[in-house]
Amino acid sequence: MPETPVLFVLNGPNLNLLGEREPEIYGRETLEDVRGICERAAPDWRVDFRQTNHEGVLVDWVQEARIAAQALVINPAAYTHTSIALLDALKTLSIPVVECHLSDPAAREAFRHHSYVALVAAKTVAGHGARGYELAVRAAVELAQERGLA
């Protein structure tokens, strides 16, 4: 067990535009604001916070989390609803996975109702805006502690 446990917070496509992108749906906080929320929610952890627009990069980072992290929070954005590759990567993890969405996809268009990630996530937080990341990080930390990983 490492001295300082590591939490990966992975963000998928278009979340780099948070604050500018459809603020009526996703809120006015930027991704940097979200990073701060995550860091404050897990003061005893090292938070490795990342964003990519590329599906394969997300898969690479999930594989990296197998070795480097004790818990994972992921907002896969649109890949939530499409990516079997991401699901397969997440299935290789033995650390807790918490799925996080700013909006509530279940209350939006039908094509957002299905989540591949939900098949492996220990918990899903949705519809709480940027504050949802705080809830997701706390849940991931608690789950890791329950499992004796941190």
Q: Using CA atoms, how far apart are residues 30 and 15, in angstroms rounded to an integer?
A: 9
The reply to whether 11 sits near ligand DQA by the rule CB under 6 A is no
Amino acid at 89: A
Residue 112 binding ligand DQA, by CB under 6 A: yes
Q: Does 80 bind ligand DQA (CB under 6 A)?
A: yes
Residue 103 contacts ligand DQA per CB under 6 A: yes
* Contact by Cβ (8 Å): 58, 86: yes
Least Å from the CB of residue 16 to ligand DQA: 11
58 and 117 Cβ atoms separated by less than 8 Å: no
Active site residue: 26, 79, 116, 133, which one? Answer: 26
Residue 101 annotated among the catalytic residues of the structure: yes
Q: How far is the CB of 117 from ligand DQA (least distance, A)?
A: 10
Strand partners, 98: 73, 123
Choice among 79, 101, 116, 133 that is catalytic: 101
Q: State the chain's maximal CA–CA distance in angstroms.
A: 44
Question: Is residue 59 at the binding interface for ligand DQA, with CB under 6 A as the rule?
Answer: no
Query: Residue 125: in which H helix or E strand, if any?
Result: strand 123-126
CB-neighbour burial class of residue 44 (10 A; exposed 0-12, middle 13-18, buried 19+): exposed
Selected range binding ligand DQA among 39-47, 54-62, 74-82, 83-91, rule: CB under 6 A: 74-82
Contact residues for ligand DQA, defined by CB under 6 A? 14, 75, 77-78, 80, 101-103, 105, 112
Give catalytic residue positions: 26, 101
